[in-house]
Amino acid sequence: MEHIVIIGNGISGVTAARHIRKLSNKRITIISAESDYFFSRTALMYVYMGHMKFEHTQPYEDWFWKKNKIELVKAYVKDINTNTKTLEFDNRDALKCDKLIIATGSKPNKFGWPGQDLKGVLGMYHKQDLENLEILAPNNKVCKHAVIVGGGLIGIELAEMLNSRHIPVTFLVRESSFWNGVLPNSESQMINRHIKSHHIDLRLSSNLKEIVSDENGRVKSIIIAESGEEISCNIVGLTAGVSPNINFIKSTKIDTNKGVLVNQYLETNIPDVYAVGDCAEQHNPIGNRRPVEAVWYTGRMMGETIAQTICAEKTAYQPGHWFNSAKFFDIEYQTYGWVHGEKGRPDYEEHFHWTHEDDLKCITVAYNRNTREFLGINTFGIRMRHETFDTWLTDKRDVDYVISHLSEANFDPEFYKRFENEIIGQYKNQPQKTSV
């Protein structure tokens, strides 16, 4: 019986295992050093906030794995011998496999800041990070002040987490406005205001110079590069993005760059070795997508794809239209298709923007200035229907159609106030823009 070994029990690895089991009777082993069972990484924040217990983040009950004959091994892979197809563990055990799927996910970025490995400095990615945070910042008596470095999605989640325990937070963001590498300006500025309304000390255009240690090797304070200001704190959260977690692979024969290099079939340069999820890097990026996609659903899709390739017929990873979602404190965000911030916006991309007076809701519709083709939408505080936008993008609807049919895409709960009329009114009244 063919033995499939998967390194990593995150969404990519587990999806691959589940689908391989659906399609075949192959022997399946999942290896993880992080946790006994699969859990939803994105839900760790809710454990710290007291919305859930850790067990609630596990989508499958413990008996599920045995019942589906998926073997779980808690171990740390130290090396991969691609000639003998053998994995070597740090406890000197080894495991032979016929096919290997690398699904090791990401790790938080560290950019060589002085003091970045002090006690009290942590990322917010692994289960162990959560356990550390619970020890270092159980309440605002033990942790009187926290500093977060890096203005991305994990950074703002960490701010919300600490806020839930009334720990004062200073939030250092390198950009001039929160996440404006991705979001158009007015959206990004709305989020700035929302962050501040939650009493977060938001510092824009601020870089970390160094983390200062006390006499016990613990974090004492940080220093901001631009102003030289020193802010005393008990913990520092480093949330300046993530990168593929592939250090142990770099010494093997498997080709790597930022991540494990794969083709569209998620195959590496070594036969029978595949990579999926955050740790995989596409030789040739697909559409506007980045070569490394650290997104929940792409991990899941790659897992489904690789199972087809291994068990049925060779299948290319072809994600459909881009979409994503996040939550910034109380504001939900969804995006379908492509809406660019200032950075990297194509010349032809024009925006229609609507903001609600409560400063908690807005939408941005991107379209092609020349053809008026609808390109994408960002929506804040209003839920929209994935299926509808997916269809509109496939059908290449124009922007007028999308705006006038917006009510079909509404996904807010029943009885919620609707804004389509207001949006259509503003759309019709906007001054005609002439192309330059």
Partner 1 sequence: MNQNVEESMSLAKPDVQDLSIKHKISVVIGVFGLFIFVLALANIDFPNRGIFLMLAIGSIALGTILYSNQIYSNKSKGIKNDSVWFKSMSSKGILGWITGIVLTLFYIVLYFYPQYLGLSSTGASNTGLIALFDPLSYLLSGRPASQWFVYGTLYTLAILIFGYKFMLKYKHNRYQQLRTGSVMFFQLGFAFLIPEFMARLNESASYNLPYYDLKSMWPLNYYLFDGWSINGFLSSGTLGLILLIFGVLSIFVVSPILTYKYGKRWYCSWVCGCGALAETAGDSFRQLSSKKLSAWKLERWLIHTVLVFSIIMTTAVVYTYLGSDPHKFWLTRATFLLSAGIILTSIFAIVMVFKRKELGKDAIFGAIGFFVIIASLFILYFSGTTDKIFIVKSSTLRSAYGLYIGSIFSGVVGTGFYPILGNRVWCRFGCPMAAILGFQQRLFSKFRITTNGGQCISCGNCSTYCEMGIDVRAYAQKGENIVRSSCVGCGVCSAVCPRGVLKLENGSLNGRINSNEILLGNDVNLITLLKR
Interface with partner 1 in residues 346-405 (CB under 8 A): 360, 383-387, 390
**Cα(2)–Cα(24) distance, rounded to whole angstroms?**
10
Of 243-251, 265-273, 291-299, 342-350, the window that binds partner 1 (rule: CB under 8 A) is 291-299
Query: CB of residue 211 vs partner 1: minimum separation in angstroms?
Result: 24
Which positions from 212 through 271 interact with partner 1, judged by CB under 8 A? none
Cβ count near 214 (within 10 Å): 13
Residues 144-203 that bind partner 1 (CB under 8 A): 164-166, 197-198
Sign of the alpha-carbon torsion through 177, 178, 183, 185: negative
> How many C-beta neighbours within 10 Å does residue 347 have?
9
Rounded-to-integer distance, Cα 26 and Cα 3, Å:
6
Pair of tokens at residue 173 = 């963001």
Per CB under 8 A, contacts with partner 1 among 28-57 are 40, 42-43, 46-57
Residue 92 sits at the vertex; the CA angle it makes with 99 and 79, to the nearest 5 degrees, is 45
Q: Which residue's CB is nearer to partner 1, number 269 or number 324?
A: 324
3 binds partner 1 (CB under 8 A): no
Interhelix angle 11-23/296-311, rounded to 10 degrees, is 30
Looking at this protein, which amino acid is placed at residue 54?
F
CB of 251 to partner 1, least distance (A): 32
Which CB, 40 or 109, lies closer to partner 1? Answer: 40
Among positions 123-142, residues that touch partner 1 (CB under 8 A) are: 130-131, 134-135, 138-142
Nearer to partner 1, 176 or 388 (CB): 388
CB of 232 to partner 1, least distance (A): 20
Q: Is 251 in contact with 79 (CB distance < 8 Å)? A: yes
Report the SS3 class of residue 431: coil
C-alpha span between 45 and 42 (Å, rounded): 7
Which of 90, 93, 226, 330 touches partner 1 (CB under 8 A)?
Answer: 330
Binding-site member from 319, 359, 369, 397 for partner 1 (CB under 8 A): 319
For partner 1, the closer of residues 50 and 112 by Cβ is: 50
- The size of the interface with partner 1 (CB under 8 A), counted in residues, is 71
- Nearest-approach distance from CB 399 to partner 1, in angstroms: 22
Query: Among the candidate windows 108-116, 224-232, 256-264, 330-338, which touches partner 1 by CB under 8 A?
Result: 330-338
Q: How far is CA 222 from CA 15, 152, 206, 397, in A?
A: 41, 19, 12, 50
- Which tokens sit at 312? 């049925």
Query: SS3 of 334, please?
Result: strand
Residue closer to partner 1 (CB basis): 357 or 387: 387
Among the candidate windows 110-118, 168-176, 269-277, 301-309, which touches partner 1 by CB under 8 A? 301-309
Q: Is 329 helix (H, G, I), strand (E, B) or coil?
A: coil
Q: What is the nearest approach in angstroms of partner 1 to the Cβ of residue 380?
A: 11
Q: Which helix (H) or strand (E) holds 425?
A: helix 420-429
Structure tokens at 310: 């291994």
**Based on CB atoms, which residue is closest to partner 1, 28 or 47?**
47
